[in-house]
């Protein structure tokens, strides 16, 4: 993820859990299509842009404004540890 995106998603866990899912779709440094959920909950690497966008739209029930295409590099973040 870019530093700007990390700053945007930084915040309290309680507030994050109430926000709807929002996905960023872009390419990583190797040219793979990457989808990442802005809270760092999940995402994936896809063979093409169409597949990446289809996944993100499905996960957000195609709600307008919940899928963002970017020309910036997108990296799939490692999973965050669950509290427990």
Has residue 76 been placed in a domain? no
Question: pLDDT digit string (tens) for 23-82?
Answer: 999 999 999 999 999 888 889 999 999 999 999 999 999 999 999 999 999 988 776 665
Find, among 67, 78, 62, the residue nearest to 26 by Cα: 67
Would residue 78 count as lying in a domain?
A: no
Q: How many domains does the chain have?
A: 1
Q: Which comes out higher in pLDDT, residue 13 or 25?
A: 25
CA distances from 23 to 2, 81, 84 (A): 14, 20, 26
Q: What is the pLDDT of residue 76?
A: 83
* Residue pair 44/56 in contact by the 8 Å Cβ criterion: no
What is the span of the domain harbouring residue 30?
3-69
- On whether residue 75 sits in a domain, the answer given is no
Q: Please indicate, yes or no, if residue 14 is contained in any of the structural domains.
A: yes
Does any domain span residue 57? yes
pLDDT value at residue 20: 79
Alpha carbon distance 64, 46 (integer Å) = 22
Whether the per-residue pLDDT at 19 is higher than 60: the answer is yes
Q: Is the pLDDT of residue 18 over 90?
A: no
pLDDT value, residue 82: 57
């Amino acid at each position: 993820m870019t530093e700007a995106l990390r700053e945007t998603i930084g915040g309290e866990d309680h507030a994050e859990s109430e926000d709807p899912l929002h996905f960023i779709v872009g390419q990583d440094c190797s040219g793979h299509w990457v989808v990442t959920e802005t809270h760092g909950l999940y995402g994936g690497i896809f063979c093409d842009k169409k597949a990446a966008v289809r996944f993100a739209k499905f996960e957000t029930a195609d709600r307008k404004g919940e899928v963002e295409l970017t020309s910036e590099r997108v990296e799939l973040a490692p999973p965050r540890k669950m509290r427990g």
